[in-house]
Amino acid sequence: MANLGFVGLGVMGSEMVNRLLSKGHSVIGYNRTRAKADWLIKEGMKWADSPKAVAASVDVIFSMVTNSPALQAIVEGPDGVLAGLTPGKIYVDISTVSPEYSRSVAEKVRAKGADMVDAPVSGSVITLQEGKLSVMVGGRKSTFDKIKPLLEDIGPKVTYVGDNGLALVLKIACNLSLAVQMLAFSEGVLLAEKSGIPREIAVDVLANSAIASPMIKYRGPFVLNLPEEAWFNVNMMQKDMLLALELGRKLDVPMPSTAVTNEFLTAARGMGLVEKDFAVVFDVLAHMSGVHR
């Protein structure tokens, strides 16, 4: 059993804490909105009043927040994670943020005598609940070796990628494909539907065909019924697409399918669908095709 801390108890973060508790670990957590943590407190999680208090109380600190500004908000300042770090502690950030900014945080962590890795995950809430999440890790190999058993308690597939920031690059590469696949899947469904094939049949056949990636398997049915609570909303996905496009420009990698799919996310935003799961790109394309849900 380890003494762990967790900052950021959103949909994914809270489920990760729940898994860590179920594995017998002691977890102290913090979230900007305490109400989201009530169910975890009932499950045995302890509460802290700030990210600093979390970091000061534990040996390994995890965090999962929405973007680079949100990470800065929990790391910097008198109540931030950095203020609570002492030599020997390990900070594991699971957020999908700018690799460049993550590296700058790692430098500040090391200046405190602690260490940091970036450990973004691939998968959804369902994947996490089923124990099938995969974790990518960037940082010092010696630190990775220390925390690998903890990460395996979150997801069974844990891979060391390389230096700080490289796991984030790989996560961004994964996420851009999710959105691109969803748009291509939507094109196929609408082509079938406008030819006279019922949408349900088109979805069933395509989701059990050669194109059926794990993402298509679990998110393809969203073109029939979107979940009330987004697994990964338009805003979050577009953040990752923009990170991908920024990396593409820096590395001189053309990203035509990413750029086009990003425009559909912008269209979804313009249609007031920003809080919907990013599978709502189907609705955008359907609207353009004269098809309604």
134-138 and 157-162 as β-strands: parallel, antiparallel, unpaired? parallel
- Answer left, alpha or beta for residue 139, where phi above 0 means left and psi between -120 and 50 means alpha: left
- Token look-up 């001189």 returns 252
User: Is 171 labeled as catalytic in the residue annotation?
Assistant: yes
Strand partners, 4: 27, 60
C-alpha 266: how far from its chain's center? 20
Contact 114, 89 (CB under 8 A): yes
Given the residues 89, 171, 239, 276, the one annotated as active site: 171
Q: Find, among 144, 157, 150, 83, the residue nearest to 118 by Cα.
A: 144
Dump strand ranges (E) for 48-108. 60-63, 90-93
Helical H segments across the chain, by residue range: 11-22, 38-43, 51-57, 68-75, 81-84, 99-111, 125-129, 141-152, 166-194, 199-206, 214-219, 234-251, 256-270, 281-289
Burial (Cβ within 10 Å: 0-12, 13-18, ≥19) of residue 179: buried
The C-alpha angle with vertex 240 and arms to 216 and 21, in degrees rounded to 5, equals 75
- Integer Cα distance of 290 and 151 in angstroms: 46
Active site residues: 171
